[in-house]
Amino acid sequence: MRWMLVTLVTGLLLAPGPATAATFTVTKTADTLDGACDADCSLREAVAASNVEEEDVPVVADTIVLPAGTYPLTLPDPGDDTGGGDLDVRQSATLVGAGARSTVIQAGGTDRVLELDSRTTVEVSGVTLTGGGGVGQGAGLFSGATLSLHDAAIVGNATTKPGPASRQAGGVFLSGPTTLERVLVAGNSSSSIAGDVWKPQGAGIFVNAPATLINVTIAGNTIDGTGGGSSFPQGAGLFANDPTTLVNVTLAGNRAVGTKSQGAGIFFNDDATVQRTIVAGNATDAATDECFVNSVVITSTANLATDAADCAFTAPGDLSADPLLAPLADTGGPTDTRAPGPGSPALDRAAFASCPALDQRGFPRQGVATGAACDLGAHEVGAVAGALPPPALPPPAPPPAPAVKPTPPKLTVASVLTLPPARRCVSRRAFRIRLRAPKGVTLQQATVLVNGRRARVVRGRRLTAPVDLRGLPKGRFTVKVTVTTTDGRRVSDTRRYRTCAPRRRGR
């Protein structure tokens, strides 16, 4: 049986209100955390305010509005997820920037940029995430959430964790169901070092849950396995470890270092559906190395690759050819693209009815407007800015059938929670609550109310960390502690106490 100790201090907060989604507007680029998001609100303070969970109130998704500017993450990580380092989104939320070219969240290379909790549903748009490092997975973005990421860029991040690490996803690690639409993933890296057990995987994107990518460019990511580890470096652009759907994706110019690398463009480790996608110019050192298909099924439609057979693009309409892509550049819109050049076989190749209405830049595809065929990949040549409704997303892959879960252990107050006895007075300086997790039970958080007002919410590693709070009210007061488990059950205990009178010293 695991024991957890919480030392209660009472900095009293207001009792929770009704379930209402809030909007937090960031007003400064400086990285501060003073406990409030008001007229003076940093990005970190907005995230912290959105993370607050009210007891007995359903969680609603707050909105964080991030105006144009560069937001450096400069506060150091204290090691307990309470302050600096990366931005930890713990509740469902919507993060809206002013555009990927104008709103930049920049880490300092010692932690990732953004981490999304697995219990959340999150939408992120209009931002660039860059400068992430110091971790082994997802240096730009690590997501366990149900995620919609669109009109955004993940660039210039690296898995630079000191010491042995798995080195997966310098750019984006996806561990929850995800849709990426109109996104650039470029210039990210994963490189092994001496002492690593395995060589790196997926420098651009590592897919570890069902994912759909629409109008996405994955370019210029680098994976290097020469520093250490066994096996082979795999998937410099994309490592697909779960069912993945690619629709009008351009995956080009990614590089693996090491003569035994596998799939400098894509490593398919699960079944995939690939439609109207370009895979070209990916190489291990100087040798063409577009894909590695690890005994899985690739369902392909109208794709173009430098070596189509290498990617199992063997359906009618698939083509092996050089798409004549231009370098990655600003071609209009919020993110850079690689445009097919004059005479490219990618031009006007797909039936317009099957194409997304917009390209990566948000420009209407020509085929949609004229009835002609549209281009392969994320960039539509000749498209200009215009107003069309967002394209309809393909239906997500059906979730796996739920496993039959065993009956959870019985949960009682006595099995998880012990409060100090109420029959004697208590000190205003020390009030200790013991939490314990019976076998088969995992505690998620504990919420403490004093006289009906929330005094503390602790969760995660903070359940086992001493919390030095002070100032219990004088006289009589009521304490209510509610403990929530990861499977959604909760128990509460309420007791009334009195504080001890101060001792008087003799003269």
The DSSP-derived string for 45-88 is HHHHHHH---TTS----EEEEE-SEEEE--SPP-SSSSSSSSEE
Cα 247-362-126 angle, rounded to 5 deg: 100
For residue range 83-126, list pLDDT tens digits in order.
789 999 999 999 999 999 999 999 999 999 999 999 999 999 99
Q: How far apart are CA 99 and CA 67, in angstroms?
A: 9
* Higher pLDDT pick, 368 / 229: 229
Reading the block at residue 500, the tokens are 């001890």
Cα 54-149-369 angle, rounded to 5 deg: 135
Asked if the model's pLDDT at residue 318 lies above 50, the reply is yes
3-state secondary structure of 310: helix
Q: What's the pLDDT score for residue 17? A: 47
Neighbours of 414 (CB within 10 A): 9
Partners of residue 304 on adjacent β-strands: 278, 319
3-state secondary structure of 300: strand
pLDDT band at 487 (very low <50, low <70, confident <90, very high): confident
Average pLDDT for 17-29: 84
* Higher pLDDT pick, 361 / 428: 361
Q: How far apart are CA 356 and CA 377, in angstroms?
A: 11
Q: How far apart are CA 346 and CA 276, in angstroms?
A: 9
Asked if the model's pLDDT at residue 385 lies above 80, the reply is yes
Q: What's the pLDDT score for residue 3? A: 44
Asked if the model's pLDDT at residue 8 lies above 50, the reply is no
Q: What's the pLDDT score for residue 9? A: 42
- What are the distances in angstroms from CA 391 to CA 68, 181, 214, 276? 26, 10, 10, 15
Asked if the model's pLDDT at residue 476 lies above 90, the reply is no
Q: What's the pLDDT score for residue 357? A: 92
Asked if the model's pLDDT at residue 54 lies above 90, the reply is no
For residue range 220-251, list pLDDT tens digits in order.
999 998 888 888 899 999 999 999 999 999 99
Q: How far apart are CA 318 and CA 303, in angstroms?
A: 5
Asked if the model's pLDDT at residue 5 lies above 60, the reply is no
Reading the block at residue 147, the tokens are 């995620």
**Residues 6 or more apart from 442 whose CB is under 8 A from it?**
485, 486, 487
Q: What's the pLDDT score for residue 322? A: 97
The DSSP-derived string for 85-142 is SSEEE-S-EEEEES-TTTEEEE--SSS-SEEE-TT-EEEEES-EEE---SSSB-SSEE
* Higher pLDDT pick, 60 / 374: 374
Partners of residue 251 on adjacent β-strands: 218, 279
Exposure string of 22-33, with b = 16+ CB inside 10 Å and e = fewer, is: eebebbebebee
| 196-205, 287-296, 392-401: range with lowest mean pLDDT | 392-401
Q: What's the pLDDT score for residue 410? A: 78
Neighbours of 354 (CB within 10 A): 15
Neighbours of 169 (CB within 10 A): 37
Q: How far apart are CA 248 and CA 350, in angstroms?
A: 10
- Among 181, 261, 193, 194, which Cα is nearest to 221's? 261
Asked if the model's pLDDT at residue 442 lies above 50, the reply is yes
pTM as predicted: 0.73
**Residues 6 or more apart from 316 whose CB is under 8 A from it?**
none
Asked if the model's pLDDT at residue 291 lies above 90, the reply is yes
Partners of residue 206 on adjacent β-strands: 173, 239
Residue 234 CA, chain-centre distance (Å), reads 21
What mean pLDDT is reported for the chain?
84
Q: Are 23 and 63 in contact (CB under 8 A)?
A: yes
Q: What's the pLDDT score for residue 388? A: 43
Most confident range, picked from 146-160, 368-382, 478-492: 146-160
3-state secondary structure of 262: strand
Most confident range, picked from 35-49, 174-188, 419-433: 174-188
Q: How much of the chain exceeds pLDDT 70, in percent?
A: 82
Sign of the torsion angle spanned by Cα atoms 366, 369, 374, 379: positive
Q: Which residue has the tokens 């680098």?
A: 222
Asked if the model's pLDDT at residue 452 lies above 70, the reply is no
The DSSP-derived string for 183-252 is EEEES-EEE--TT-SB--B-SSEEE-S-EEEEEEEEES-EEE-TTS-BS--B-SSEEE-S-EEEES-EEE
Average pLDDT for 27-32: 96
Q: What's the pLDDT score for residue 392? A: 42
Sign of the torsion angle spanned by Cα atoms 359, 362, 363, 368: positive
Q: Which residue has the tokens 């690490």?
A: 165
Average pLDDT for 278-283: 96
Asked if the model's pLDDT at residue 368 lies above 60, the reply is no
Q: How far apart are CA 385 and CA 388, in angstroms?
A: 10
Q: How much of the chain exceeds pLDDT 90, in percent?
A: 56
Asked if the model's pLDDT at residue 63 lies above 80, the reply is yes
Q: What's the pLDDT score for residue 97? A: 97
| 242-256, 301-315, 361-375, 419-433: range with lowest mean pLDDT | 419-433
3-state secondary structure of 494: strand
Asked if the model's pLDDT at residue 383 lies above 90, the reply is no
